[in-house]
Structure 1
Amino acid sequence: MRQLSKDGFDRVLIHNPDAVGMWLYQDYPDAFLPVLKHTHLTVPLCSPMQSVTPVCFGTMYTGAAPSVHGIQEYAKPVIQIDTFFDAAVRAGKRVAMIAPPTCSLSNIFIGHGIEYYHCACEGEIIEKAQQLIAKDEHDIICVYTYMFDTLNHRNGPFHPETQNALYRQGQYFDILAATVKRLWKHHNTLISYSPDHGVHEVVPYGSELNSKGKPVRGHHGSDCTQDRNILHYMGVIRRSDKKD
């Protein structure tokens, strides 16, 4: 990784798939083959408590504990402290975020220099990401996908629909990385597959409720290893329009 990054990076692509925990990599390694194909380093991490999306992304993009960035439960207030995005803008970088309008990432970082592209579904999100890569106007592109988390809550992590959504997350990353290789040939690009937290199956059904008070078959937010242990996958796509 150090050798690959010796010239530094002038582009960054971050894929944030919601709720893809470490145990899923251990139990379903085939779902991660498209990710491993493009990455060179896997970093084990522990999500903060509560292990819910706004808390975890708050910590991921500020480097601060929940007690510092201010989100300590499932809520979406705008973070008031300095963030990765602020630092990027101060350095003269353009940042794009592609996500649904109601998700945590579209709300907790408002006013921090991000150009938002709101999409209604995962297919539109990936298509918009490809369009922005092709335009080559942004230095940092963040892509959020969410259907694995959505279907986990609805059906549990072992349901076929949920499993299909897990495999799609890796396929999306494969599409994004391949697009970078094809269209950002004159850039050195850091790519990352970086989930926020994991998930666990709810047994018996009805013993855990979501934020709206409804029972769920899969959940997160607890201190268990399934919810907190995650892996971030990092890779480098070096420019290919010149010889080293």
Structure 2
Amino acid sequence: MTNFVLVAGAWLGSWAWSDVLPGLRAAGHTAHPLTLSGLADRQGVRAGQQTHVDDIVGHVERLDLRDVVLVGHSYAGIPVGQAAERIGDRLARAVFVDSSVPADGESFVSGWPEGRAQVEAAIAANDGFWPALTAADYAGQELGDEETARIVAGATPHPGATLTEPAVLRGSLGELSATYVKCLLDGPEPGPDVAALLKGERWDLVTMETGHWPMFSRPDELARVLLDAAGAGR
């Protein structure tokens, strides 16, 4: 039995995985959607990037989970990549869903050379939080009106320090057994950092013909992708 630990990206909480969970559980596995500090039902909790890493590691260790598939979507790839390194032999595989990946000493906004100033200005203007997106920002991502309304209603401002603080890695991400899921409506190719990792023997690439939020646009297909990735880790 695989233990899936699912972490959604910026502005989202555990609720974002609700349509993916049935597919994982019907296959006989355990799924643990996780809300990071400062978001959704955990609003008001102060958080930096290492807080989010600790959230994930602490959840795995507190429940004594083994055969863990850590899943990080979008921003969450950064704390998931660091947590995957820290949980050691508890990890079966890491899955990065259209996500950023951590680089030692670099932050989430480090990878945004054109948008970094904009993100930092938005955080400064909103009491240290990155404001959630509006409905118009989800256009072109294969989301219907109902799905878009769910995301907008559930999204909460994202703690800014988690985006600007640097990642801490002890080794190379290329040493992880990992799957990268590229959502093609959000861009046809992974970024250069991910492309370099995919050249190694331990990383696999899977593509989905959907937008950046596949847990809403194609939850059943995403569940199948995650199950396949878990099988690759055995």
Give TM-score scaled by structure 1 length: 0.31
Which structure has more relative contact order (CA 8 Å, sep 6+)? It is 1
Relative to its length, the structure with more helix (as a share) is 2
Give TM-score scaled by structure 2 length: 0.32
